[in-house]
Amino acid sequence: MTGVAKKHNNYKGYNWDGRLHNFYFIKPIPNVDADSLSEKLLGIKGVKEVHVTEGDSGFLVRAKYSDGAKDVGEQIAKSMNSRYNLSLSYYSLNKE
């Protein structure tokens, strides 16, 4: 993959973004300090956003797509002492 999805439809009224991103869904260890861990995650090369969430996945991390996704995931797992699930965003639409 090149890191950019090919636009194949005309989405009138929406902004289309074909940049590929990896999303990591992370279940943190109990009693973790969300603020310090968020800063640590943002320090990982390629990480663009960290969202602290409710539920089983306590953190959602968006990273720039690369062939090194496994490396980023391993750095995240090491920072969190936890496992993660990975999903690739092919493209996104938004109203803004």
Q: How far is CA 22 from CA 30, 31, 60, in A?
A: 25, 26, 10
CA 54/CA 57 separation, integer angstroms: 7
9-55 tens-digit pLDDT: 666 667 767 777 888 888 877 787 889 888 988 998 888 999 998 87
Range name among 9-13, 44-48, 70-74, 78-82 with the lowest pLDDT average: 9-13
With a threshold of 0.85, does the pTM exceed it? no
What pLDDT does residue 8 have? 56
pLDDT of 66 strictly over 60: yes
Strand partners, 49: 62
User: Which CATH number fits the domain 21-90, given the four candidates 3.30.70.920, 3.40.50.2300, 3.20.170.30, 1.10.10.10?
Assistant: 3.30.70.920
User: Is-contact 37 75, C-beta < 8 A?
Assistant: no
Cβ atoms within 10 Å of 67's Cβ, excluding its own: 8
pLDDT band at 85 (very low <50, low <70, confident <90, very high): confident
The domains of the chain are located at 21-90
pLDDT band at 80 (very low <50, low <70, confident <90, very high): confident
